[in-house]
A and B are shown apart, each in its own frame.
With several copies, the nearest count.
Chain A
Amino acid sequence: MSEPSEASVRAEVRAWLEAHWDPELPLREWREKLADSGWGCPSWPEAWLGRGLPVALEHVVSQEFERVGAVGIAAGSGPWLAGPTILEHGSDELKRSLLRPLVTGEHTWCQLFSEPGSGSDLAGLTTRAERDGDEFVINGQKVWNTSAHHADYGMLLARTNWEVPKHRGITYFALEMKQPGITVRPLRQMNGHASFNEVFLNDARVSAANVIGEVDRGWTVALATLAHERRMVSLRREGPLPGRGRALDEAREEQAHVMAPYVWYPQRAGRVDLVLERARETGRGDDPIVRQEIARLISLARAATWTAQRAREARGRGRPPGPEGSIGKLCSSHIARAAANVHALISGADAMLSGSDGALDGIIAEVLVSVPGQSIAGGTDEIQHNILAERSLGLPREPSVDTGKPFRDVPKNVARPARDPGRGRAGDTT
């Protein structure tokens, strides 16, 4: 095959879709075709369900799928996070066994990274994995795990070595979730939604063959997953699939399932899109003070949009990436907070009510009680400030008190009482 061009790729995918896309196929059957053909993950290697295309040409394939309304590979963290991580760091055996089912949607995945005791300091995790013959035995607790309640596999980080500094004793596992040692409990947030889970690991077991990368070298693998996660967040913009047919119906169902935990995310971001309409509707736009705040908010929101666009254009010109990742994240916090305040200013007393009694059927109230999450989830504002200062401005790091010594000797959070849900949670007063 000669060097692919945009035109050649477009012609090829178009021809293949013309020959194979059939909206009336069962979804799984169609996905098997995608996996066989490599058109589902065109930038993956030809040996592993892909076509080895440059990433820059991926969008051509997407465009053609969109043009004919064809369903792509499964949504969620399987193909977006686990897939690329396994491709980069997994053994051939793991690639063989795990990639295809996550592309077809047969297996869904969840991430088991954060812990109650290690939030910002992810590398300070204390879930332990102990070798037992050909297996590892896992004990500990994970938290903030989206989709863990139905996932087949988990991307698990656990500590296998306590005698070395914290980054050097972590191992990355592909953990089978459906086993007795694992209990998943929904975690309710302050806005009433329960879109995350807590995962309790009590003598859960995982085969040594399921280590991704090498034992004790899992931190590098985790960084790869986190990089893919940032990319996923910046790309996630999925509208509902149009069209009719069995494959499409099944795909919509799958999508609804995967996206369910994210239903309040627009509210968490502040619903800037509603502000002008609300100001007009309520007449509050007549108040000069409201107008000032609206102008500030919209200016900030546009500035953030334009900054992201500027960064994209610069990358398009081949210039190195800048601070836009952390800036975008921080802006989203500022915007969410400002938007909530503007909504409160506009709605006034009505913002005291929620649900169907509340302003805009409770949407405004949900904004108010969701925005505090924006500056915490996915890396707190404080962490983003550190990243900007150290990576973009080159300011020196703080003197570290923990990275130089065996993790065993590093101060840690006092363990919260084990919360086996079977035994009740009375002791927990955090």
Chain B
Amino acid sequence: MQLSYSDEQEEFRRVVRRFLEDHSPSAEVRRLMETNAGYDPAVWAKLSAELGLPGLHLPEAYGGQGFSTVELGIVLQEMGRVLLCAPFFGSSVLAAGAILNAATEAKKQELLPLLASGERIAALALCEAAGRWDAAGVSLVATPVDGGFRLDGEKTYVLDGHTADLVVVVARSPGSSGEDGLAFFSVPGDAAGLERRRLSTLDATRKQARLTFSGVRADRISGDETAGADPRAGARALARTLDFAAVALANEMVGGAEKLLETTVEYAKTRVQFGRPIGSFQAIKHKCANLLLEVELAKSVAMYAAAAAAEDGDELAEAAPLAKALVSDVSLHTAAESIQIHGGIGFTWEHDCHLYFKRARSSELLLGAPNEHRERLAQLLLRQRPEGETR
């Protein structure tokens, strides 16, 4: 697994950083936080046109740039650094990922170019009231009706669900349960019978919505359910989508943590109490050192996971939950300690610490809490392995 970025990748990072620093300064984040859409369509268009980010990691065949998860990781790290308010994670990572993993070739051809160009924004509607990010948590039923399907039920925690042009819905066939019978559907954002409500979120920089489906007409985008078809194909596509999303989120989180650590260390160098910079006191100094250690570990893990996702081999299954759990913990701890090191000013609204703190707490729970990911990792680790292998 390659764990260092090439000079070209570092140059790419610089380009992305420059763009984001220009277009997503703190004042802009604070402005967009208070809006309903939660992002600036003009910036989105520019980021699509100039850098092609929405399709960066999508195959060229579908209008993307064909880069790997490693480059995607770089982009997400940079977005995490500035807390970019944009539908990137919801549309390019989650929804596009679902289409890529689950949809038929025809549907990929139809839908992905729209997302890759940034022209359309999609949302993945997976989670329901129980808050589970897995196949078994899906109870919304897609009932076959003449030539299509009818969706009835509720989805929630849907990133950008209230503004998306297109909603990708994970639903199950009537009578199925667990990992069986899952399929993916597409619904226009303004479909009849679809009620969308923006939710009030802890992290105002990433919007979520609740979607209520009452007899909504939907297209099935995943493969046909023929007699011989694998009933678990949908669940597998979902699992791949979520692994990929977990890796992406880990990279985004690590960017925020790194930025926050830099800000905090800078503050510790300049803030004077008792006639000395507070960073000369071991209490603060060792906290910073410990954060550096954690952030460096988190970076390695995020990079490893991104490389594993790019290789798409056996390592991904363990790397994804490992990265999601470890980086979540580091990200939240970094945010909490940063506030503590800043003292009173860190607890104010006007200081940016809290924006990172809320993003960290929210990302910790998005796609499942760390303990769930650790449980998954442990299950994989403890499977009986072939003779002698004791890693």
Contacts and interface: CB of A to CB of B under 8 A. Distances in A.
Nearest to A272: B391
A330 B290 CA distance: 9
A351 interface: yes
Contacts of A223: none
Contacts of A144: 344
Interface stretch (A59-67, A80-88, A211-219, A353-361): A353-361
A423 interface: no
Interface stretch (A173-181, A249-257, A369-377): A369-377
A393 B292 contact: yes
B297 interface: yes
Contact of A314 (B4, B283, B345, B346): B4
Contacts of A337: 336
A313 B273 CA distance: 37
A96 interface: no
A314 B300 CA distance: 12
B288 interface: yes
Interface stretch (B167-175, B235-243, B361-369): B361-369
A236 interface: no
A187 interface: yes
A307 B364 CA distance: 22
B35 interface: no
B268 interface: yes
Dominant SS among interface residues on chain A: helix
Contacts, number: 279
B382 A276 contact: yes
Given A190-B354, A306-B3, A430-B351, A401 B344 contact: no
A164 B339 CA distance: 33
Contacts of B339: 190, 372, 376
Contacts of A317: 4, 6-7
Interface of A: 114, 116-121, 124, 143-144, 187-190, 192, 273-274, 276-277, 279-280, 285, 288-289, 291-292, 294-296, 298-300, 302-304, 306-307, 309-310, 313-314, 316-317, 319, 322-324, 326-327, 330-331, 337, 344-345, 348-358, 362, 365, 368-369, 372-373, 375-377, 380-382, 384-386, 388-390, 392-402, 410-414, 428-430
25 contacts: A119-B343, A121-B273, A190-B357, A192-B349, A280-B382, A292-B374, A295-B375, A295-B381, A300-B297, A302-B322, A306-B300, A307-B297, A310-B3, A345-B369, A352-B202, A352-B208, A352-B365, A355-B200, A358-B200, A368-B361, A369-B361, A376-B346, A376-B347, A393-B292, A413-B271
Interface of B: 1-4, 6-7, 26, 127, 131, 157, 199-203, 208, 210, 265, 268-277, 279-286, 288-290, 292-293, 296-301, 303-304, 322, 325-326, 336, 339-340, 343-351, 353-354, 357-358, 361-362, 364-366, 369, 371, 374-375, 377-379, 381-382, 384, 390-391
